[in-house]
Amino acid sequence: MRNRNTNTILRGVSILFLTAALVLSIISLITYSRQRNNYPASMTIAGVPVGGLTPVEASQRLLEVYTSPVELLYNDAIIHIDPAVVGFEPDIETMLAAADLSRTGGSFWGGYWDFLWNRTPSEIAIPLSPKFSEERLREYLQNEIAARYDLPPSPAIPIPGGTDFLPGQPGQTLDLDRAVLLVTDALRSPTSRSVALTFTRGSVARPTIENLTILLKQIITVSDFDGLIGFYMVDLQTGQEIHFAINNKQEISVSPDIAFSASSTMKIPVVASYLINRGSNLTPDISNSISQTLGKSSNDATDIVLSAIEPNRGPVIVTENMRTIGLENTFLAGFFTAPAYLLPSIPVTPANSRVDITTEPDSYSQTTPSEMGSLLADIYQCAQNNGGALIAAFPDKVSPQTCQLLIDFMAQDKLGSLIQGGVPDGTLVPHKHGYVPASDGVVRDTSDVGIVYTSGGNFVLSIYTYHPVTNIWDITNPLFGNLTKAVYNYFNVSTQ
């Protein structure tokens, strides 16, 4: 009887445990089945955790992340861009299909067994699959960001009343190629959606040639000089020119240019003509005479050079050579120390035919600021580039070596004033100055022409002045220096 009761109890307990195990198994199976309908806890789609979410919930979360604006930081501006505007859209359908395949592709019972043993499933990462147009992004960055937020360079501007310039500012230009890469990475990232755009800095813009012209005219009008000044400058890199004349503080026409006494600046055409007609293989004597002509401004030495060109017609040949290269207002009618007038008559030129203005130019030796400046520019181009009017007119007689020899002789003029007085010490300025007393002993004409070599660019200056009463050195010399300094600073803004 006791054994029967014991067996009954054991049977009941067994049935109870089996029933409980069955119930627990059913509950676990139902729980697992429900979980299997959602994404595994270890799954990410496009870097976004979607564990425990239904496909609908996962889709909503992905859209929230990948349609959120991307923040751009550029030139102190904060810009938010809509991904759809730049052609970026997450392909939700494709990514969910891949996630569903991963979710349902494994063995049901194998997964259930892992669930029963509480085993952590391996991580599943579904990659981002976007619809994206890099071309639309690039166009947006170019047309909306760069066009609006790039900073153009600002040129240096002249300081009123002085010879210096306020430095300009370098521009900032969006680095478009790098911006495309950075923004693309941000669009594809679920978390890092802020981008600091990079840019390139341009060089500081040189002042405009118009601003330099205004500054030069201001320097003249505020100076104490109340005579006539003819000014010519040429940028030897670009060929840009400044050419004007001011008479007693009022600008006057330079079409045609104004005739001035050439005085000692005529010695540049003299030596140029010697090299054209006699070559650059110089004897010691003629080399010394040229050195005295350009370095010491010796009239006697100049006449030796003229006689070496042709004993009786040297000045005439100089005039003919200048005509050949197109200088119709430049002529020399006689030797410097001899009174004989060698031309048939005083040449009538466009410059000395003007009736509105006169400088009472020397009937023996005349030129204009633009023609003497053009001659120096041709000498420079000949030496540097085997170009210019001298090479074109005398291809068999002139070479770069010939022109460089002439420049070297001009560099021996160590006056230290006028044009040379407006540049820093050590600046190379091959030049020739001129001033000569009239018959009454009064100096009315002062001139200087030269090539100025600087690290920021080389230029030619040709400045002629005339005063009907007297050309006072203490007024004219600082004016030449200030004009030169302004042009020098124009070419070398960063070092002024």
Per-residue pLDDT reduced to its tens digit, 391-404: 999 999 999 999 99
Which pLDDT tens digits describe the chain residue by residue (496 residues)? 556 667 677 676 677 766 666 655 565 555 545 555 567 777 888 888 988 788 888 889 988 999 999 999 998 899 999 999 998 999 888 888 887 786 665 544 445 445 555 556 667 888 888 898 899 999 999 999 999 998 888 878 888 778 888 887 888 899 999 999 999 999 999 999 999 999 988 777 778 899 999 999 999 999 999 999 999 999 999 999 999 999 999 999 999 999 999 999 999 999 999 999 999 999 999 999 999 999 999 999 999 999 999 999 999 999 999 999 999 999 999 999 988 888 888 999 999 999 999 999 999 999 999 999 999 999 999 999 999 999 999 999 999 999 999 999 999 999 999 999 999 999 999 999 999 887 788 899 999 999 999 999 999 999 999 999 999 999 999 999 999 999 999 999 865 5
Tell me the pTM: 0.72
Contacts of 476 (CB under 8 A, 6+ apart): 225, 446, 465
Minimal CA–CA distance to 271: which of 406, 379, 172? 406
Asked whether the beta carbons of 305 and 271 are under 8 A apart, the reply is yes
Minimal CA–CA distance to 111: which of 36, 27, 31, 41? 36
Residue 360 backbone zone (phi > 0: left; psi -120 to 50: alpha; other: beta): left
**Alpha carbons 481 and 262: distance in angstroms, whole number:** 20
Asked whether the beta carbons of 226 and 194 are under 8 A apart, the reply is no
**Alpha carbons 20 and 16: distance in angstroms, whole number:** 6
Alpha helices, H only, 329-472: 369-385, 389-393, 400-410
Domain annotation for the chain: domains and CATH numbers = 29-201 (no CATH), 209-495 (3.40.710.10)
pLDDT at position 107 is 46
Per the DSSP assignment, residues forming a β-bridge with 251 are 246
SS3 429: coil
The residue type found at 174 is L
Q: What angle do CA 126, 127, 129 make, to 5 degrees?
A: 120
